[in-house]
């Protein structure tokens, strides 16, 4: 903490991982004494830069850009960019740290990174978004490359922004190789990449339930967020026969006891992706109840999929979900449950999957996009989806292998942290002290 003051999110992520690792390392001394943990909490490189751009009123605006290149132990740096006013060093360091373990869990050769800016895309014109992206890319391009660092999207960075960023980097570098994943299809993107994080989270929840002889079929589900991850989690839940009764944004929650339908989801996607509107606008369009300023966790459901942002589900929320009979919680977002909430779920016997396991489908499919780009091929939808499902099942199996407790139950937190660590640590040990 003394070396990294005022970085609460980073401390939280590290504490959660290290609580799993200490007992494991005590039993597996081959991982002790190489400075592995000390090295893992120090990103290999942090780049911080000025992003200046001109808004529609001809005013000069200045934002801060970041890229945290956390670990290259098992492959090129890989992780998304986030554009949100809450972005700072602590948030990005926690995300890059988590990304390193998550990417290892996919079994694909990808290191860990994260980046972004405190730029707020809300209310900006298309031209402003493009000028900001170009200003950001004019520095980022020095640090990325298909075998060095391959960014992707995250909060506030979707297909539109990735199109602008990758187009400008292509112009500056005069190279057309894969410097971004999550690209629009026309620029070499992969089918299923937009769907992958949401689909993967639901595949993972279905695996967890399957392991205790249950399934999503007929279950009521609360989802938070209404962006990329939430939208496709809603779609896959419906496909598997579950009933999604909520969605949200940072202003409030829509509660629809009758559940989403494909028609309602199409309206949500139109409101969010084309009109850049609010969940309140969606609630008005479909005539559903809007709960201003509230989160979805007080509503009785069997499954909760938090898909918005970090620390959006606290201990009180967890206790409400437990009291109302929730049996499974899978994180679609990164670290949406506070540490106290995660502990409450495990203590109550609720199946709880940390994001580094359950939301790894996005980066896994980014890895598949990199493979397709390198081979100059485009796989059909079914092929990518089949591989995504296989990878999620593999992550689930790894969590069971490393997270099984003496009483036979599974701590997915321990399983994900240990399985990810073993892969990264073995690579670090093989490479010597670098
Ligand atoms: P989007 O920008 O598409 O959507 C983000 C959603 O979260 C919006 O509904 C947004 O509401 C809400 N949100 C953002 N900040 C807050 C906040 N402070 N409080 C409450 N709600 C908030 O992002 P994604 O769907 O891509 O990302 C969502 C989460 O999933 C993030 O944690 C991200 O790191 C994680 N993730 C994403 C992956 C991907 O492939 N996209 C991969 C793996 C993880 P509002 O409009 O009000 O801000």
Task: Give the span between the Cα atoms of 180 and 189, in whole angstroms.
Answer: 9
Strands 243-249 and 220-224 turn out to be parallel
pLDDT at 2 over 90: no
Q: How far is CA 241 from the centre of its chain?
A: 24
In sequence order, what are the beta bridge partners of 65?
A: 49, 117
Tokens 């990329």 belong to residue: 228
In this predicted structure, the answer to whether residue 423 has a pLDDT above a threshold of 80 is yes
User: Is the model's pLDDT at 60 over the cut of 80?
Assistant: yes
Instruction: Give the H or E element holding residue 205.
Output: helix 193-211
pLDDT at 178: 82
Q: Tell me: the pLDDT tens digits for 217-274?
A: 999 999 999 999 999 999 999 999 999 999 999 999 999 999 999 999 999 999 999 9
The complex's ipTM works out to: 0.98
What's the whole-number mean pLDDT along residues 135-157?
97
104: which residues sit within 8 A by CB, 6+ positions away? Answer: 74, 419, 420, 421, 423, 424
Q: How far is residue 176's CA from residue 173's CA, in Å, rounded to a whole number?
A: 8
- Which residues does 275 contact at the CB level (< 8 Å), separation at least 6? 281
CA distance 401 to 227: 33
Instruction: Give percent of the chain above pLDDT 70.
Output: 100
Centre a 10 Å sphere on the Cβ of residue 307 and count the other Cβ atoms it contains: 30
User: 307 C-alpha to center of ligand 1: Å?
Assistant: 6
Give the percent of the chain with pLDDT over 90: 98
Average pLDDT over residues 162-186: 94
Find the Cα–Cα–Cα–Cα dihedral 277, 280, 283, 289, rounded to 10°.
170
Read off the pLDDT of residues 188-224 as tens digits, 9 standing for 90 and up: 999 999 999 999 999 999 999 999 999 999 999 999 9
CA of 167 to the centre of ligand 1 (A): 24
Residues with CB under 6 A from ligand 1: 153-156, 158, 197, 225-230, 249-251, 307-309, 312, 332-334, 359, 362
**Ligand 1: which residue has its CA nearest to atom 42?**
362
- CA–CA gap between residue 31 and residue 397 (Å, rounded): 22
Q: How far apart are CA 402 and CA 421, in angstroms?
A: 11
List the residue whose alpha carbon is closest to atom 21 of ligand 1. 250
Percent helix, percent strand, percent coil in the chain, to nearest 5: 50, 20, 35
**What's the 58 CA to ligand 1 centre distance in angstroms?**
30
pLDDT of 1 > 80? The answer is no
Q: Once rounded to an integer, what is the mean pLDDT over residues 57-86?
A: 98
Average pLDDT over residues 374-384: 97
Could you tell me the pLDDT band of residue 33, with boundaries at 50, 70 and 90? confident
Surface-to-core class of residue 83, CB atoms within 10 Å of its CB (0-12 exposed, 13-18 middle, 19+ buried): buried
Catalytic status, residue 114: yes
Q: Which residues contact 110 (CB under 8 A, 6 or more apart)?
A: 74, 75, 76, 78, 103, 150, 363, 366, 367, 370
Q: Which pLDDT belongs to residue 390?
A: 98
């Amino acid at each position: 903490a003394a070396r990294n003051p005022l970085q609460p999110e980073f401390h939280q992520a590290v504490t959660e991982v290290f609580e799993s690792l200490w007992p494991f390392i005590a039993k597996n001394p081959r991982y002790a004494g190489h400075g592995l943990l000390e090295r893992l909490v120090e990103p290999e490189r942090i780049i911080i830069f000025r992003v200046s751009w001109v808004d529609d009123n001809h005013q000069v605006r200045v934002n801060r850009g970041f890229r945290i290149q956390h670990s290259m132990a098992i492959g090129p740096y890989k992780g998304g960019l986030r554009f949100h006013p809450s972005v700072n060093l602590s948030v990005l360091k926690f995300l890059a740290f988590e990304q390193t373990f998550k990417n290892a869990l996919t079994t694909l050769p990808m290191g860990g990174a994260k980046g972004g800016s405190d730029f707020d895309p809300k209310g900006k014109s298309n031209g402003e978004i493009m000028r900001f992206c170009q200003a950001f890319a004019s520095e980022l391009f020095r640090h990325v490359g298909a075998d060095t660092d391959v960014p992707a999207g995250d909060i506030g960075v979707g297909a539109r922004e990735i199109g602008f960023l990758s187009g400008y980097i292509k112009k500056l570098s005069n190279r057309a190789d894969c410097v971004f994943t999550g690209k629009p299809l026309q620029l070499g993107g992969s089918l299923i990449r937009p769907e992958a994080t949401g689909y993967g989270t639901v595949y993972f929840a279905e695996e967890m339930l399957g392991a205790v002889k249950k399934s999503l079929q007929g279950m009521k589900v609360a989802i938070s967020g209404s962006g990329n991850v939430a939208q496709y989690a809603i779609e896959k839940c419906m496909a598997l026969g579950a009933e999604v009764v909520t969605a949200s944004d940072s202003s409030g929650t829509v509660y629809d006891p009758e559940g989403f339908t494909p028609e309602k989801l199409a309206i949500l996607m139109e409101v969010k992706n084309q009109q850049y509107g609010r969940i309140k606008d969606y609630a008005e369009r479909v005539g559903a109840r809007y709960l201003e300023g509230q989160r979805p966790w007080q509503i009785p459901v069997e499954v909760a999929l938090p898909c918005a942002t970090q620390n959006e589900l606290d201990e009180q929320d967890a206790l409400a979900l437990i009291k109302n009979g929730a049996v499974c919680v899978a994180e679609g977002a990164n670290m949406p449950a506070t540490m106290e909430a995660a502990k409450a779920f495990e203590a109550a016997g609720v199946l709880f999957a940390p994001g580094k396991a359950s939301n790894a489908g996005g980066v896994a499919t980014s890895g598949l996009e990199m493979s397709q780009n390198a081979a100059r091929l485009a796989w059909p939808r079914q092929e990518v989806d089949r591989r995504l499902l296989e990878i999620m099942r593999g992550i689930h199996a790894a969590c069971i292998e490393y997270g099984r407790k003496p009483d036979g139950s599974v701590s997915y937190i321990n399983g994900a942290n240990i399985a990810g660590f073993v892969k990264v640590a073995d690579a670090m040990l093989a490479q010597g002290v670098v």
